[in-house]
Structure 1
């Protein structure tokens, strides 16, 4: 007995006629009659009483009818679930983020994704860009959210719009009420920044004819902000990363320098596995 035979039997029982059932199933009547006879022979019971025009279920037929209803319903549910899995509606999505880009996950796109795919779970891995690129290569994560610059030879990427850097400080270290400052105003100020932005910051300062006073270099934009919040210096961080430490005593001033900017990038391996859930996630960032 297989699913096809059960389906044939079920439709015959519903129609009450082999001729009507054959039309509904889009098959000829003789093969349908043969399948029914084979099912009865296999089970060793008579499933229908045959009349001149109609067929009626026997007691054994009623038992099988109830079970067929359950089995066919379960089969359909299983197929639907597997289709949903294939289409990315179920599963676990592994994403890597650097600290300065993690906040970008919490924008409206993640809420939209969760509303569209409520049965997708997440595993979030935090690390620096080098570590996340390595995790992509090893298949530990499917997607990473990082910041430019990075080596993109083995990856695909979606770049979000450029964003400026800001100077973050407590009020006592502020020298102006302006919300936008020129980079030259940071001359002789104790600067704190994420190490991977060092080359970018040093070049911008050099192009403006001064050497910055570096108070602290670190490996985490969150650390830069925490040190700034403690009044130890002025942190230079991407604008969107100001969300990383929640409420604080920090004020922010946008640095007016076209070269001193960065972008969030959504990256995935050119050679690695990308699940349907991963493809659906990427589609949120590909919409223009």
Structure 2
């Protein structure tokens, strides 16, 4: 078995057909098919089942896929490490992050990391926590920043920041007239609420109200904080978001920290515990974790 067999096999899996894989590899289809047959003969098993709508992996193919990905990753990593010995750390970091305080945290980390590693490039994807987790699991992004809660299975996580939740209130709303910069949770219960769209977030917010014997009136769930601000500014409801959302608001709204109970958004740095990180990602992870250990989870 040679490394090209591994690369050809992975290409067929990723593209879902020999024709598309051959195009991606810039080779003719017959040689590709022959290489896969050679691989199957060496392994003494079929790896693919050909169906009308494309290819599917056999049980042996699924098992071999796990090893193939690890072999390719180790091969790529070895080349990267040797190049880095000569030229300094290179490569591209694939990062994913949620809104709130996470973009500021990430920008600070990249700025610090770039001082010692100027050749590293960055690709940053933004979405909600559920989407970030999916991308980390799939390998599309090596490192992500999410907010609690999350399923820890398959992930290695580090708590790196906490901030209070706030209520973003239209300026003409009765609750905006109080002098305090905080508001008790029970006072929000009678009013229409706008919350983040993450599936687990609604349950979390409902659990805040439950001990008070109250049920929140959730009228809108949205994916992006700027939409929450615009809806709130138009008087369509009170938005509940982490405190960092306040940096985007204007005099059209009033921001008050939620108390009784005080509730917090916790940000977590995550990576897959089943996939090896690239050299650049490993050093970035270690750099951030060291910063967390030195400064604590409540500091940027």
- Same fold by TM-score greater than 0.5: yes
3-state DSSP of counterpart to 1:162: strand
Distance 2:250 2:102 in 1: 17
- The runs of at least 4 consecutive aligned structure 1 residues that moved more than 4 Å come to none
The aligned residue for residue 227 of structure 1 is: 231
Residue 116 of structure 1: how far off its partner (Å): 2.5
Secondary structure (helix, strand or coil) at the match of 2:177 reads coil
1:210 maps to 214
- Give the aligned partner of residue 137 of structure 1: 137
Range moving further from structure 2, 205-214 or 247-256: 247-256
Q: Aligned residue for 2:64? A: none
* Alignment partner, residue 97 of structure 1: 97
**2-structure distance, mates of 1:250, 1:114:** 37
1:278 matched to 2:284: no
Q: 1:249 aligns with which of 246, 249, 252?
A: 252
Deviation by residue 1:181-228 (Cα, 9 ceiling, x = unmatched)? 211121212211013321111111121222222221223333223322
Matches within 5 A, 1:1-288: 82-83=84-85, 89-106=89-106, 108-173=108-173, 174-196=176-198, 197-243=201-247, 245=248, 249-258=252-261, 260-282=263-285, 283-287=287-291, 288=294
Deviation string for 1:97-140 (max 9, x for gaps)? 12335423455333212222222211111223222222212211
Q: Secondary structure at the match of 1:152?
A: coil
Residue 219 and residue 135 in structure 1: after superposition, are their counterparts in 2 closer, same or farther (change >3 A)? same
How has the CA–CA distance of structure 1 residues 82 and 223 changed in structure 2, closer, same or farther, with 3 Å as cutoff?
Answer: same
How far apart, CA to CA, are the structure 2 residues paired with 1:130 and 1:254? 25
The 1:135–1:255 alpha-carbon spacing in structure 2 relative to 1, beyond 3 Å, is same
Q: Which runs of 5+ in 2 are unaligned?
A: 1-80, 295-300
Q: Which runs of 5+ in 1 are unaligned?
A: 1-78
User: What's the secondary structure of 2:281's corresponding residue?
Assistant: helix
Note if contact 1:101-1:146 (Cα within 8 Å) is conserved in structure 2. Answer: no
Shift, 1:257, TM fit: 4.1
User: For 1:254 and 1:154, how far apart are their aligned partners in 2?
Assistant: 34
TM-superposed CA distance for 1:265, in Å, is: 0.7
Q: Distance in 1 between matches of 2:111 and 2:253?
A: 28
Taking structure 1 as reference, are residues 109 and 246 closer, same or farther at Cα in structure 2, changes over 3 Å only? farther
Change (3 A) 1:149 1:215: same
Cα deviation code 1:257-284 (max 9, x no counterpart): 4563221111000011312221222222
Aligned to 1:68: none
Q: Per the alignment, do residues 84 and 105 of structure 1 end up closer, same or farther by CA in structure 2, a change over 3 Å counting?
A: farther
